[in-house]
Structures are given as structure tokens and as C-alpha cells.
Homo-oligomer: A and B are copies of this chain.
Amino acid sequence: MSFDYAPFFRADLPPAAVRWSGFPEYNFVGGHNDADGVPVEALATALTNVMQRDGKRLATYGMGYGALGYGPLRDSIAAMLEARAGMATDPDNILITTGSLQGLDLVNGALLAPGDTVIVEDVSYGGALSRMRGLGVDYVGITVDEDGMRMDHLAEVLAAQKQNGVRPKYIYTIPTVQNPSGTVLTVQRRRDLLDLAVEYGVPIFEDDCYADLLWDGERPATIRSMDQTGQVIYCGSFSKSIAPALRIGYVVADWPVLSRIIPLKSDGGCGALEQMALAEYCPSQFDGHVDELQTLLRGKCTVMVNALEEQFGAAAEFSAPKGGIFIWVTLPETVDTDQLAKAAAAQGVLINPGSEWSADADSGRRRLRLCFGHPSHETIRGGVARLAEICHAEFGVPVRGANVER
């Protein structure tokens, strides 16, 4: 007989996990990346080199660098942020985190309490929105167009909130390769966003974890680089640019913020081998690697776009993303993507229904997010064809698909 834990669990736990059963045949969810795009050998070599020099530091928590993380990695990140994102950064303003996910949890842990309000883009990262809901925080969505968050709408919302005595805890934005829209906030809007944040006295939380994968156009300066007062908290990650399983991200913020976040990071530090390998690898190889990875992902993006056009025709509306690993698709009004996602999962096709990626869940009901970083060209084509068949069977659209009259 099993011991009964029911009386012992907290009453407010999330639903129980289900046992892992492997990836399905067509996996279009999750921030996985291309298996051939991981610099496996170079990372192993980098680690071997740095271990010879610095391996004894493994004997101490924090490798002798304290809670912020491995010093040489913070130096590397600072150099990359300056060169690639136009952001001069003191390495002591960088906290290494277990992916940007821990960064979100730590920033939220310091700032958000039940009943608080935050501002988000009206389509946004599902994991950020679910975290806010889990914390009992309300979010208000700002319209996103092809140039990112619309500043006229943001100004309206901030004015209305002020009128109502609401001071949002932060404005959460993914300005570069926005998740899920794939858009890039223009430089002018970045300036306007910071101006509005200053005017209303609201922090900005800038999540830049896809920015290294921008292939269409120049990478704009970060919003934090335009800020002289520490009003912008920034986070980034190596999950998309190197490998998600490494679990190395970072928060960039001024000390008054970092000093309140650090005590919440109760895990004794992030993995040393990842930090050491990246510190050694990045200065000489990151830029070249990311160029190759972009080419690879751009090719997959093209395959995805072509497959959608071929299988869904006019039934699927979308803009090709400017980088990254996902595409945001709008289907006809008759389609409910929550229902589609369920039907597709039953047939081995995983998709993100738009409701989970939308501040207003209802407005996302005919939208979906498809990730193309991990599947092969062939899998993308096969999966989109199967998705079109399922969508046709459930909703009668697309009318034609897979070169077959339905």
C-alpha cells in the first residue's frame, strides 16, 4: 500500500505532472534547436582547455566568484553585449541564471505580489504569461504590429492606469524577434518606450533571449543600452544560440536590483561546466557559430513558410519571422486552435494554441505557434501536411491541402 500524501501537500499546488512519454512524431512546440547546429566538439574542447587551467575552482561553491557566477563568463557576456547589442555592461551587473527561465522567476520573485498588474505585449511568451497567472498577477496586453509593440496603445494604457491609481510593476517586452510574432521593435519605438516608462515611473523588463538569432536586418541597440538610471532589467540566454539543455541565461541589472534578487537564488549557483565551457568558447567562436546557425534556421523557416503556403494556402495568414525558431499563424475564424491542438496531439502533431500565447486568450483562439528549430526539413513538410489534414477534418479548412482536393 502506498503512503497517502494527500493531507500533506500544499493546497495551492499546480496540477500533477504526467509521466514523460517521449517526443511525438511531429514536434512543433518548445524552444528546441537544430541537433546539427550544436557545436558539440568545440564545446567539449573548450571545456577540456578551461578545466586544465581553472578546474580546481570546482571545489568551491561559485568557483570563488560569489553568487553572480563564473567571472570569465560574465566578462565574455559583457563583451558580447557591447559588440553585438550596443550595450556597455559592467560584468558585476550580470547574474548567471539557470536559463532565462530562472531569470524570469527571480525578477518576478523580487517584484510581483498577488493583485499586482504588469504590462505585456498582447501576444507574448506563454511561459511568461503562465508564470504571472500563477503568481496571481493581472496583465494588460499592448497591440503588436509589424514593428513590435505599438507606442500609441501603450501611452493610452499607461494614462488610463494612472487615472485608475494603478502603477504597473513592469512593462515586459521581447523587443527583438518577439515571441510569438517574430517582429522587431524599431529603434524609434524603443526610445519612445523608454520615454513612456520614465514618464510614468514604471520599470521595463526586456527579455532578449532570441536576439542573437535575428537574421533579417541589423540588431537594434537594446532598450537597456538607452537607459542611464537602471530602470530597465534585461535578460538573455544561450539556450537559443548554443543549446537549450545547457541552461545558462543571465540577468543584467543595476546592483540595487541584483542585490534583492540574489538572496532568492537559493540553489547554490548554476552549473560550473556550462559556465566554464561557454566562457572559453564564446570569445573566439560565438559570432561565427551564430552566423552558421542563422543560415540553418533561416533554411528551416523557408521550408516551414513554403509548407504552410502549400498545405494551407490562403487559409493561413502569417508574416515570415525576422529570426528565431517559430512562426505565428492565423487561421480562419471558424478554427479553434485549442481544439485543433488536442486533435493534432492525438495524431502525433504538437502545436502551441494561440490562446496560451495571448494576453487575451480569446483573441488567440484562431492562432497557433509553430516551432521549426528542431524538426528536419522532411519532418516540417510531413507535419504541416498532417496538420492541414487534421484541421480540414475538424473545421473544413484548408479546403485544399497536400495537393489533394478535400
Contact = CB atoms under 8 A, between A and B. Distances in A.
Interface of A: 1-3, 5, 7-11, 13-20, 22-23, 30-38, 40-41, 43-45, 47-48, 51-52, 55-68, 92, 98-99, 101-102, 105, 109-113, 131, 167, 169-170, 203, 229-231, 239, 243-248, 254-260, 262-264, 266-274, 277, 374
A77 B13 CA distance: 28
A1 B198 CA distance: 12
A65 B30 contact: no
Contact of A273 (B16, B30, B246, B254): B246
Contacts of A40: 51-52, 55-56, 58
B267 A101 contact: yes
A273 to B, nearest CB: 4
A31 B63 CA distance: 12
Contacts of A36: 56
A105 to B, nearest CB: 6
A16 B34 CA distance: 40
Nearest to A31: B61
Contacts of A66: 19-20, 22
A281 B17 CA distance: 30
A247 B374 CA distance: 28
A108 B338 CA distance: 34
B263 A61 contact: no
Contacts of A3: 203, 229-231, 254
A111 B34 CA distance: 39
A264 B38 contact: no
Given A62-B245, A203-B8, A2 B32 contact: no
Contacts of A52: 40-41, 44
A268 to B, nearest CB: 5
A247 B269 contact: yes
A110 B31 contact: no
Contact of A38 (B58, B254, B267): B58
A41 to B, nearest CB: 7
B110 A9 contact: yes
Contacts of A244: 58-61, 268
12 contacts: A3-B229, A8-B203, A17-B67, A30-B60, A40-B51, A40-B55, A43-B55, A44-B48, A245-B269, A246-B273, A247-B268, A247-B270
A245 B61 contact: yes
Contacts of A68: 20
B8 A57 contact: no
A102 B265 CA distance: 10
B16 A260 contact: yes
A110 B13 contact: yes
B55 A113 contact: no
A343 to B, nearest CB: 23
Nearest to A278: B273
Given A98-B98, A110-B13, A2 B229 contact: yes
B110 A10 contact: yes
Contacts of A56: 35-36, 38, 40
A271 B242 CA distance: 13
Contacts of A167: 7
A378 to B, nearest CB: 17
A111 B44 contact: no
A8 B111 contact: yes
A246 to B, nearest CB: 6
A213 to B, nearest CB: 14
A36 B60 CA distance: 12
A255 B203 contact: no
B245 A22 contact: no
B254 A272 contact: no
Nearest to A99: B268
Given A2-B229, A11-B113, A169-B8, A51 B44 contact: yes
